[in-house]
């Protein structure tokens, strides 16, 4: 078998066998296939695509390139959730305790920030003492006894994905639905949960910019998950505005706690309850309407907040933050961003808000950068709100006045105020089973 022949087959839209795809993945992972040849094949995939069967073969080959977790020790149906990323997306911190409080089991491995989007692991590390590293047996034990655990992607899971993704990032081959699908689903399948809920974002604050792109990716991932023997569902959601009001690590944790204290009801809380309901239904806890009611009661009763505190304590964190958010990191400087005219808030460009937070230090701009966990932006209004000139639109949190002023400039590019009222955003566009 020659890599040259496989590149030609993909370029000519000739279907590769499972053995040929395994040869490609294993050869590259074991340094037997050089970067330049793998780059050529990846570019051929970007241009010509892969069939569903080829995408499944690629996903399984990447999954099998390393260890796969055995979650049978939990002894219950397990459910995982993956979001394709966005600005202010803190749903994992909400759905894990909500689902656990309803009797579900959520083993979750999450990532760090990527580009202008925040990472769940960075948010959790803003909680004093919280550890995102955990041996697998302890991880399984915690999920079994508490119902949830969220740790970083580590160990020998999907080494092929790590290597292929690094190459894609350097060769402009990231933007390919079969390659995105295999990257995401190989990690989900390696984790080993019985059910997978996919939150696929679209809009200016997401990697998929249109509903059509998000739909194609969601459908492909659901098909791959089902063909791999998992119960899989996708929810396509809007990311044309930040999710919730807070963007920035500790600020987002504070907003999560407010939601679980039943003090903050908005699109974020609505989406978290809906995602939790789908996860509970996939877990066999009842029909969707019953599961929605269960999720809502977990919040109003305070049981979901208790689960969050239990998870924080189990992972070495200061669980008292769930009662006193002043224990979270705070920025040295705060600056109010005020409206420059009357009108209605018609848009908040997510990517610009994300870039403003990146400049404030809420994310990494280089591998050696340090994160300022207290930095970020808190938005004070929702799309459709009436605004008066001079009214506070946001609070900017940063290490210095200079950084806050730079972020304010970004926010001015992000916020749109018009004379005509804009309807509020409907977050959920479509559900794919």
Read off the pLDDT band of 115 (50, 70, 90).
low
Q: How many CB atoms lie within 10 A of CB 5?
A: 12
Read off the pLDDT band of 423 (50, 70, 90).
confident
Would the CA dihedral through 76, 79, 80, 86 be positive or negative? negative
Whether residue 106 is predicted with pLDDT greater than 90 in this model: the reply is: yes
Closest by CA to 318, choosing from 129, 82, 62, is 129
Residue 187 appears among annotated catalytic residues: yes
Q: Bridge partners of 383?
A: none
Q: Give percent of the chain with pLDDT exceeding 90.
A: 81
Residue 270 appears among annotated catalytic residues: no
- Tell me what pLDDT residue 344 has: 95
Catalytic residue among 83, 110, 182, 183: 183
Read off the pLDDT band of 433 (50, 70, 90).
confident
- Tell me what pLDDT residue 31 has: 95
Closest by CA to 95, choosing from 250, 242, 229, 281, is 281
* Residue range 11-24, pLDDT digits in tens: 999 999 999 999 99
What are the tokens at 409? 């400039």
The residue-averaged pLDDT of 99-103 equals 98
Whether residue 116 is predicted with pLDDT greater than 60 in this model: the reply is: no
The predicted model scores a pTM of: 0.91
Closest by CA to 321, choosing from 265, 257, 260, is 257
* Residue range 293-334, pLDDT digits in tens: 999 999 999 999 999 999 999 999 999 999 999 999 999 999
* Residue range 349-407, pLDDT digits in tens: 988 999 999 999 998 766 677 899 999 999 999 999 999 999 999 999 999 999 999 99
Whether residue 138 is predicted with pLDDT greater than 90 in this model: the reply is: yes
Give the Cα separation of 186 and 158 in Å (integer): 7
Catalytic residue among 82, 233, 245, 292: 82
For the chain, list the domains and their CATH numbers. 3-63 (1.20.970.10), 72-322 (3.40.1030.10), 330-418 (3.90.1170.30)
Distances (CA, A) of 320 to 101, 252, 263, 364: 19, 16, 18, 28
Residue 183 appears among annotated catalytic residues: yes
Residue 161 appears among annotated catalytic residues: yes
- Tell me what pLDDT residue 205 has: 76
Q: What is the residue-averaged pLDDT of the chain?
A: 93
Give the Cα separation of 425 and 421 in Å (integer): 12
Catalytic residue among 63, 90, 123, 168: 168
Read off the pLDDT band of 1 (50, 70, 90).
confident
- Tell me what pLDDT residue 170 has: 85
Catalytic residue among 161, 194, 238, 372: 161
* Residue range 239-252, pLDDT digits in tens: 888 999 999 999 99
Catalytic residue among 81, 187, 381, 410: 187
Read off the pLDDT band of 175 (50, 70, 90).
confident
- Tell me what pLDDT residue 159 has: 93
More confident residue, 157 or 252: 252
Residue 342 appears among annotated catalytic residues: no
User: How remote is the C-alpha of 359 from its chain's centroid?
Assistant: 21
Give the Cα separation of 430 and 237 in Å (integer): 7
- Tell me what pLDDT residue 85 has: 77
């Amino acid at each position: 078998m020659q890599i040259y022949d496989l590149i030609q087959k993909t370029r000519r839209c000739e279907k590769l066998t499972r053995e040929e795809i395994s040869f490609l993945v294993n050869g590259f992972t074991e340094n037997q296939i050089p970067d330049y040849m793998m780059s050529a094949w990846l570019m051929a995939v970007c241009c010509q695509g892969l069939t569903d069967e080829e995408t499944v073969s690629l996903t399984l080959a990447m999954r099998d390139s390393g260890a796969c977790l055995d979650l049978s020790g939990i002894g219950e149906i397990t459910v995982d959730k993956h979001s394709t990323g966005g600005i202010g997306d803190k749903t994992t911190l909400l759905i894990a305790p909500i689902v656990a409080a309803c009797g579900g089991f959520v083993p979750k491995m999450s990532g760090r920030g990527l580009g202008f989007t925040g990472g769940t692991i960075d948010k959790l590390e803003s909680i004093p003492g919280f550890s995102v590293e955990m041996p697998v047996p302890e991880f399984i034990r915690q999920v079994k006894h508490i119902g949830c655990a969220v740790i970083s992607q580590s160990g020998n899971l999907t080494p092929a994905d790590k290597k292929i993704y690094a190459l894609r990032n350097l060769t402009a081959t990231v933007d390919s639905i079969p390659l995105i699908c295999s990257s995401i689903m190989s990690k989900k399948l390696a984790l080993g949960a019985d059910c997978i809920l996919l939150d696929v974002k679209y809009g200016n604050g997401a990697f998929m910019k249109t509903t059509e792109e998000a739909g194609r990716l969601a459908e492909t991932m659901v098909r791959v998950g089902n063909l791999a023997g998992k119960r899989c569902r996708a929810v396509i959601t809007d990311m044309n505005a930040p999710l919730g009001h807070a963007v920035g690590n500790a600020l987002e944790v504070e907003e999560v706690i407010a939601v679980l204290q039943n003090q903050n009801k908005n699109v974020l809380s609505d989406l978290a309850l809906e995602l939790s309901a789908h996860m509970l239904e996939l877990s066999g806890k009842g029909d969707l309407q019953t599961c929605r009611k269960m999720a809502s009661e977990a919040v109003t009763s305070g049981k979901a907040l208790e689960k969050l505190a239990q998870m924080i304590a189990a992972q070495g964190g200061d669980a008292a933050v769930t009662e006193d958010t002043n224990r979270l990191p705070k920025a040295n400087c705060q600056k109010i961003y005020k409206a420059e005219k009357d009108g209605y808030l018609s848009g908040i460009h997510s990517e610009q808000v994300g870039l403003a937070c990146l400049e404030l230090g809420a994310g990494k701009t280089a591998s050696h950068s340090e994160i300022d966990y207290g930095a970020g932006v808190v938005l004070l209004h929702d799309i459709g709100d009436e605004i008066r000139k001079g009214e506070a639109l946001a609070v900017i949190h940063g290490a210095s006045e200079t950084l806050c002023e730079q972020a304010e400039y970004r926010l001015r590019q992000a916020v749109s105020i018009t004379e005509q009222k804009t309807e509020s955003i409907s977050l959920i566009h479509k559900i794919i089973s």
